[in-house]
């Protein structure tokens, strides 16, 4: 039996505008009757203290730590208030994290925690007991650690990472594009997208001769999905200006997809790593729809 989505980790550092990620969170909480485990990580004084070796006086370091701590506390308070308003507006019961698993009247619950900065690695650890992690898209104004958080979870959790688009989407998972290149990473993404795929209106498996590696072909994926009672079609796309990532996003746009699933950072010889690694980077930097990544 396919494991359902019941615990969604929601790291909320790295953005001042939570509308898009909260919209996706609401969609997922309602669809899967899932618990939202929202977490904010505070400042880590050790990161600033390390500057003391760069010719900065101890007094200046102390002042920088105090300012960073105050700013982190203010940020956590603001995010906390916004999250409380979100759960109230969406009829989600806010509970203590230790009570996770206890049911509410409608089955939907949420919790909110502020972690000390020195526990930053705990974010990746917690993601290992989440059925998925949902993060905001990376922007030029994101917390500098937002990219580190995203990649830490992607590489170290063993669970799917879902990235919200820049603006709040109307739908999530109604029309799904699955990027396929035959790799183990793509296989994991295919497995992880199944909870959405069962309810999708249309699914398209997208590949490209320049993207495909040794392994099952797109038509094999279509037959695999058929075994799960899921109807899908396939298509081959061309790179856009020699960029495969741009080609995959263009194919998803042409299909009218509101969600894209792909394996990230596939292992390959160096001359191909530049190519395939570039696919992940391009999608992260240019996505306009909800993206599920796994590795």
Extract the residue ranges of the chain whose pLDDT is less than 70. 1-3, 14-17, 42-73, 101-106, 117-120, 140-144, 266-277
**What is the pLDDT, as a whole number, of residue 276?**
45
Report the relative pairing of strands 161-163 and 290-294 from DSSP bridges: antiparallel
**What is the pLDDT, as a whole number, of residue 214?**
83
First to last CA, the chain: 22
**What is the pLDDT, as a whole number, of residue 52?**
52
CATH of domain 7-163: 3.40.50.620
**What is the pLDDT, as a whole number, of residue 254?**
97
**What is the pLDDT, as a whole number, of residue 140?**
61
Task: Please state which of the four CATH numbers 3.30.1360.170, 3.40.50.300, 3.40.50.620, 3.50.50.60 is assigned to the domain occupying 175-293.
Answer: 3.40.50.620
Instruction: Give the relative orientation of helices 19-32 and 58-89 as an angle to the nearest 10 degrees.
Output: 50
Give the start-to-end residue ranges of the domains of the chain.
Answer: 7-163, 175-293
Under 8 Å between Cβ of 214 and 247 = no
pLDDT digits (tens, 9 = 90+) for 140-187: 666 667 777 888 888 888 899 999 999 999 999 999 999 999 999 999
**What is the pLDDT, as a whole number, of residue 274?**
47
**What is the pLDDT, as a whole number, of residue 112?**
92
**What is the pLDDT, as a whole number, of residue 74?**
72
- CA angle centred on 224, ends 220 and 229, rounded to 5°: 140
């Amino acid at each position: 039996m396919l494991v359902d989505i019941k615990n969604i980790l929601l790291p909320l550092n790295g953005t001042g505008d939570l509308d898009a990620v909260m919209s996706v969170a609401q969609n997922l909480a309602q669809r899967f009757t899932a618990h939202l485990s929202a977490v904010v990580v505070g400042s880590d004084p050790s990161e600033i203290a390390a500057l003391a070796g760069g010719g900065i006086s101890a007094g200046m370091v102390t002042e920088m730590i105090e300012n960073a701590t105050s700013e982190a506390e203010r940020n956590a308070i603001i995010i906390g208030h916004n999250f409380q308003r979100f759960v109230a507006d969406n009829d989600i019961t806010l509970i203590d994290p230790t009570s996770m698993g206890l049911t509410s009247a409608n089955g939907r619950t949420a919790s909110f925690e502020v972690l000390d900065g020195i526990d930053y690695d705990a974010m990746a650890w917690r993601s290992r007991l989440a059925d998925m992690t949902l993060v905001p898209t990376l922007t030029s104004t994101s917390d500098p650690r937002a990219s580190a958080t995203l990649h830490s979870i992607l590489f170290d959790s063993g669970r799917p990472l879902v990235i919200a688009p820049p603006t709040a989407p109307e739908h999530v998972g109604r029309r799904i594009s699955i990027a396929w290149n035959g790799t183990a990473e793509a296989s994991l993404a295919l497995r992880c997208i199944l909870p959405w795929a069962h309810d999708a209106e249309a699914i398209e498996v997208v590949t490209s001769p320049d993207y495909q590696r040794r392994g099952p072909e797109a038509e094999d994926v279509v037959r695999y999905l058929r075994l799960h009672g899921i109807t899908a079609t396939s298509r081959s796309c061309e790179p856009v200006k020699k960029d495969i990532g741009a080609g995959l996003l263009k194919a998803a746009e042409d299909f009218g997809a509101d969600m894209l699933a792909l394996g990230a950072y596939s292992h390959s010889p160096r001359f191909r790593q530049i190519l395939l690694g570039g696919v992940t980077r391009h999608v992260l930097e240019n996505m306009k729809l909800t993206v599920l990544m796994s590795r």
